[in-house]
Chain A
Amino acid sequence: MSLRRWLTQVSALMTKEWKQLYRDRALLSFVIFIFTLDILLASGAPALDLKQTPIGIIDRDHSALSRELIYKLPAQQFTVVPMADQDQAVSHALERGELRGVLTIPHGFEKDLLRAQSPALQLVVDASDANLGFLLSSYTERILFTLSGELVGGQAAAQGRSVVLPQIDIQSRTRFNPSLTESWYATLSELLTMVTVACILLPAAALVREKERGTVEQLLVSPLSPLQIVLAKAFAMTSVVLLGSLVAVGLVMHQLVGVPFVGSPWVFFSLIALYAITSSGLGVLASTFARNSGQVGLIVVLLVMPIIMLSGTWSLRESMPDWLQNMVAFSPMTYFVDIAYGVLLKGSDMAVLWPKALKMSLLGLAFWALGVYRFQRQFR
């Protein structure tokens, strides 16, 4: 059989897949949604930071200095909620999560501060959200030391004494995303998630559906080899994903959200194609373990959720336990996360990225080989 005929057959089958997707309006609208509106929505994702975090203040001193301290708490980080000295109201607000912490300024604060008696302030932190709790307590501690140092310094300067102390001053620079714009990170992370889900789920579901309905038997008696059937399914879906990510990156992320594109678009899109093919191999493999669509759905969820959660966009790989790090080495997304952020934000080129691209392709090759082998075996 000539190569040309072989390719014509595959493309005919791909056209069938495109038509099927086009006619499944629910699925089609969802595919359009995940590459456009969903990415746009991700740009408004909340960031874990102290941002007008509600904090209750109980002022037992009612002095000029205690009021000045409260007044000087930065409004960008805190929303100060003055609280009466009542246990019940305070604990209700903490239980409901309406206050993230409560700061109590003790009676005699001003007097003790000026006499160098180190007045003790109390901070109660809601630690049910551990990260925010840590941010709140460490930031409050720093700001209180600075502010009370200023208050004391102001008093000392008024008395004509000035104090100079040595200091280590950190000059911090954030690379690749200088002002830590959340949307740069979040939209790309969302895109990678959606590409992964679509690339694994779409071919797997398409293959199982034919198996379930028995139409795959028709395909197999046609002059098509099982490899052609699988390739057509996977490539049809891959092309949809590729088109989708082109729109998502070029239009939504770059134009609308303003994510920079530092590296080469050619490198980015050829590697995203490679990734899409690799992941669809995983979808083909998954489909061979299921008899009906219900099963394939659950298998894919079982496979996709760990992949998207553990591949490096949600958590740092180096912080995971060793056994988990070894497991995620088998996830193609692990390599693609580095590649995507590398090309888009860091401007990396193939000279740096080839080991990751190579590992990803090897995984893809293994998925495809195993998937096609198992697919063929089912029909002998």
Chain B
Amino acid sequence: MNLLRVRTLVTKEVSEALRDRLYLTLAFFLPILLMLVFTYGMTSNIDNVGVVIVDEDQTAASREYTQRFLSTRHFKQVEVTHAPTRADAALPAYQARLLIWVGSGFERQLQNGQTAKVSVQIDGAFTEPARTIGGYVEAINAQANQDLRQRYAAAQWGARSSLTRQVTHPVQLQTRYLYNPELRSVAMIAPALMMMILMMCPPLLIAVSVVREKESGSIYNIASSTVTRVEFLLGKLIPVVAIGMVNGFMLWALVAFWFDVPFRGHALSFTLALLLYVVATSSMGLLVSAAVKTQQAAIIITTMTAVIASMQFAGLFAPLETADPVNQFISHLFPAADFLRVIRGIYVRGAGVEVFWPEMLSMAAYGAIALTLAHTLFHKRTAT
């Protein structure tokens, strides 16, 4: 390997990129734009969800109960054209995602110490919001029950009696939220999106730049030159890894300063993880470029692989432990799951290399394997 030739190739790549303004702009703006749009769109708060309330009881107790739902930011009452009139009536499908039905006799039953039933319907078409909505409903109802028992027990046995304390507060639970005390979803999403964006952008850049040479025929210049395959691949890899690193630091700045997610880790651990990941993903881009003939195929395969690998198989939305064995196996085909664990660990929890060295090693292995495979598959002369 001749380092001088590698340097020449890198210079060629850089000046090519510099002359293609749109390409250059997108190479640096695409990651930032993706980060902004995704974070705003996916902070996965469940707010302003339309709810239809049918209150047949129309008493102080029923109004107090339904008001508990409406006073949170999660739910918003909607007026519907045809209010349901029976307890088994349907949820109006496109106007609300939740229906709460308080039947008559609600207040009377509670005053007599009986169980009052409330029926609830949740739109389950989107499963994750449906689960969260169900969770909110349960939590609000639990609080209502707690207040209700407190009042009832105090009226029956006196507010300070030991029986009252026992039935209303059998235990206390002191909860402490580590790493993200305000439970902001942005702290969960924004650092994790680095995984996805860096899975997409560097491979896209590298695959397109290699396949473009194949398609335009300029690769024959390489074929007839003394440049070896390793040198050619390194000449492509180095500029893209450099761009990927710059992207990584830009994203880091965006997450830390724009979205205000405190960086708890060590800069060196972060840089090392970033480097290993960008090398691994760029090498996968090289692998794709060795396998395909057209830029069209290169673009669609790199972007789709990135979307599939990072959204479905990395554990972005739900922990990987709950996935089925096949999906867990597939997640091991990409470095995304490793980097996600590492980035959440380093960025949000402030852990270091000493905790995440197995993942770091594994990312290095992905890079090495992908590069070796790309080297094996790549030919200077494309088959005609």
Report the bound CA distance from A377 to B70 in whole Å.
55
Residues of A within 8 A of B (CB-CB), count: 127
Q: Is A226 an interface residue (CB 8 A)?
A: no
- The reply to whether B42 and A309 form a contact with Cβ atoms under 8 Å apart is yes
Contact with B along A163-181 (1 / 0, CB 8 A): 1111111111111111011
**Number of inter-chain CB pairs below 8 Å:** 404
- The reply to whether A205 and B296 form a contact with Cβ atoms under 8 Å apart is yes
Q: Looking across the interface, which residue of chain A has its beta carbon closest to that of B208?
A: A294
- The reply to whether A48 and B120 form a contact with Cβ atoms under 8 Å apart is no
B119, B172, B181, B187 interface centre (most CB from chain A within 10 Å)? B172
Q: For chain B, what secondary structure do more than half of its interface residues adopt (helix, strand, loop), or is it mixed?
A: helix
Q: Looking across the interface, which residue of chain A has its beta carbon closest to that of B157?
A: A163
Contact with A along B31-55 (1 / 0, CB 8 A): 0011001101111111111100000
Report the bound CA distance from A48 to B146 in whole Å.
27
A41, A121, A128, A352 interface centre (most CB from chain B within 10 Å)? A128
Q: Is A324 an interface residue (CB 8 A)?
A: yes
- The reply to whether B118 and A321 form a contact with Cβ atoms under 8 Å apart is no
Q: Is B293 an interface residue (CB 8 A)?
A: yes
Which residues, 85 to 117 on B, are CB-close (under 8 Å) to A?
90-91, 93-94, 97, 109-117
**B346 shortest CB reach to chain A, Å:** 10
Q: Is A3 an interface residue (CB 8 A)?
A: no
Q: Which residues of B contact A297 (CB under 8 A)?
A: 204, 208, 295, 298-299, 303
**B112 shortest CB reach to chain A, Å:** 8
Q: Looking across the interface, which residue of chain B has its beta carbon closest to that of A310?
A: B41
- The reply to whether B116 and A96 form a contact with Cβ atoms under 8 Å apart is no
The 7 A-B residue pairs whose C-beta atoms are closest, nearest first, are A293-B295, A297-B299, A177-B124, A205-B296, A298-B26, A46-B323, A174-B124
Ordered by A's residue number, 26 sampled pairs between the chains whose C-beta atoms are within 8 Å are A27-B292, A30-B297, A47-B128, A94-B349, A96-B351, A97-B345, A122-B173, A123-B174, A125-B175, A127-B179, A128-B178, A138-B138, A168-B115, A176-B125, A190-B312, A197-B307, A292-B212, A293-B208, A305-B37, A308-B307, A313-B126, A318-B49, A319-B45, A319-B47, A324-B41, A346-B93
Q: A residues near B, CB below 8 A?
A: 24, 26-27, 30, 34, 38, 41-42, 44-49, 51-54, 92, 94-97, 100, 113, 115-116, 118-135, 137-142, 144-145, 148-149, 151-152, 156, 163-178, 180-182, 184-186, 190, 193-194, 197-198, 201-202, 205-206, 209, 212-213, 290-302, 304-306, 308-310, 313-316, 318-321, 324, 338, 341-342, 345-346, 348, 352
